Chain A
């Protein structure tokens, strides 16, 4: 199954790269070359991508990712950018590293949540510790020294990460 996951993942990038080789579509030789190269890549990296990667072949998950990217993530980034611009002008900062307890199960969920926190300015994930179920986040304006959940730092991101990485 992980062979199919890598194959589709790399073939998609090939299609994006070679689009337009015949009008707006793909010429047959490009498609065949793409199949061959994706097959080689999939054979060599099928042990790397992880045995449960095929769960991302579910189209419902792709819709979820798109909704997350243009909805909560984009809105969170806009708000956080404006907030950081305000702090740059006024100089009102209170930096510190806080430990944020999270309720996540697997590596993908930790990665999605950590990257979302790092993408929103003002917060930066320093380390993810799955064994103690916590993230260490560098925060530009610490309002709670020991937060109970990731609500104060990440808003609804943890809920989304749990759903998308399941």
Chain B
């Protein structure tokens, strides 16, 4: 892309990232949540891919790292769901008797495992969408 798009992308990619982090981390308080925020952050990655091109993206993008992050997101989600296994699967034990995330409803550190799950779903969605877009962009040629 041209110079104007590149310079604007330099300034806006951190802003898109922090807005996505806001949507993810306030999933239990405001509209949005893991998927919406993760897709927003993935939008920053796709903006980078389109503005700076595939060559630059290939230098920054590490397939193994993104693959590991996506797996980690799924595993932590499962781990949070297992926390209250003494009562039931998905039992919100952090909220009922947990050491953290049991604050006044409406504050950031409330709602038990929901913030944790939102964060890891956001991470998983971000890593998955960016990997999918890079894979599509790196597809070898139009005709096989």
A37 touching B2 in the complex, CB below 8 Å, given contacts A21-B108, A49-B10: no
Which of the residues B21, B48, B107 comes within 8 Å of A37, measured between beta carbons?
Answer: B21
Interface size on A, residues (CB 8 A): 35
Judge if B22 is at the interface, Cβ distance under 8 Å. Answer: yes
Task: Contact check, B10 vs A37: say whether CB atoms are below 8 A apart.
Answer: no
Which of the residues A33, A42, A108 comes within 8 Å of B7, measured between beta carbons?
Answer: A108
Bound Cα distance A21, B29 (Å)? 11
A44 touching B17 in the complex, CB below 8 Å, given contacts A17-B22, A18-B22, A27-B107: yes
Judge if A9 is at the interface, Cβ distance under 8 Å. Answer: yes
Task: Contact check, B108 vs A130: say whether CB atoms are below 8 A apart.
Answer: no
Determine the chain A residues whose CB is within 8 A of the CB of B131 once the complex forms.
none
Within the complex, the shortest CB–CB distance from B80 to chain A, in Å, comes to: 18
Judge if B4 is at the interface, Cβ distance under 8 Å. Answer: yes
Determine the chain A residues whose CB is within 8 A of the CB of B103 once the complex forms.
29
Judge if B136 is at the interface, Cβ distance under 8 Å. Answer: no
Task: Contact check, A128 vs B2: say whether CB atoms are below 8 A apart.
Answer: yes
Judge if A153 is at the interface, Cβ distance under 8 Å. Answer: no
Proximity string of chain B (70-109) to chain A, C-beta cutoff 8 Å, 1 when within and 0 when not: 0000000000000000000000000000000001000111
Interface residues of B in 20-73 (CB under 8 A from A): 21-22, 25-26, 48, 60
Task: Contact check, A33 vs B14: say whether CB atoms are below 8 A apart.
Answer: no
Within the complex, the shortest CB–CB distance from B102 to chain A, in Å, comes to: 13
Task: Contact check, A38 vs B3: say whether CB atoms are below 8 A apart.
Answer: no
Closest to A41 in B: B17
A111 touching B21 in the complex, CB below 8 Å, given contacts A10-B14, A48-B13: no
Task: Contact check, B8 vs A111: say whether CB atoms are below 8 A apart.
Answer: yes
Task: Contact check, A10 vs B15: say whether CB atoms are below 8 A apart.
Answer: yes
Interface residues of A in 13-62 (CB under 8 A from B): 13-14, 17-18, 21, 27, 29-30, 33, 37-38, 40-42, 44-45, 47-50, 53
Please indicate which of the listed interface residues A13, A42, A44, A48 has the most CB atoms of chain B within 10 Å of its own CB: A48
Judge if A120 is at the interface, Cβ distance under 8 Å. Answer: no
22 A-B pairs in the complex with CB atoms less than 8 angstroms apart: A9-B14, A21-B107, A21-B108, A27-B107, A33-B25, A33-B108, A37-B18, A37-B21, A41-B21, A45-B13, A45-B17, A48-B9, A48-B48, A49-B11, A49-B13, A107-B3, A111-B3, A111-B7, A111-B8, A127-B2, A128-B4, A130-B3
Residue positions of A touching B, CB distance < 8 A: 6, 9-11, 13-14, 17-18, 21, 27, 29-30, 33, 37-38, 40-42, 44-45, 47-50, 53, 107-108, 110-111, 114-115, 125, 127-128, 130
Given contacts A9-B15, A114-B4, A128-B2, list 8 more A-B pairs with CB under 8 A. A10-B14, A14-B22, A17-B22, A33-B108, A48-B48, A49-B11, A49-B14, A107-B7
